[in-house]
Structure 1
Amino acid sequence: MTEAWLPAEAAAELWKWKEKLRRAFGVTGCDSGSPYEVIESADPSRIPPPKTPTKPKSNEAKNVFTATDERSPYFQDSL
């Protein structure tokens, strides 16, 4: 056991050892056939689209980007 193991060999041996322990102690509920659980992806046609953004209804929110206040000195040349 002192020689170097490849990671794949070590994983396979560990998996076998765990399976022997499960069988010896009668553990049920574990998938003994595969070490990884395969999760199926969701059907894209069944995923609802995101909610469409709505425009704000308040007057304050409407005037955020409009020139209703005092003019800024930084924009005097641009108009």
Structure 2
Amino acid sequence: MADRLGPDWTDVLAARDQARRERAEAARHTPLPVAQARIVHLDRELNGPLRLLPQLTPEEQRLNRSRLEASLKAA
């Protein structure tokens, strides 16, 4: 993560997570227009459900956890 997002990667991830939560909250109160809903429906029919990202290995999880803990201690 640090290689990809830079030394302040924890702040970047926190900002992305906050933005995702805000978009999800707004989507609950604002339904898609009919045209966009049709596109989503057609996409699901043609391509199937959204594919999940590959899972991290236990070693990758441990490494990310240690980096996160080191970053929190430094802050």
Which is richer in helix? 2
**Structure number, greater radius of gyration:** 1
Q: Whose relative contact order is higher, 1 or 2, with alpha carbons under 8 Å and at least 6 apart?
A: 2
* TM-score relative to the length of structure 2: 0.25
* TM-score relative to the length of structure 1: 0.24
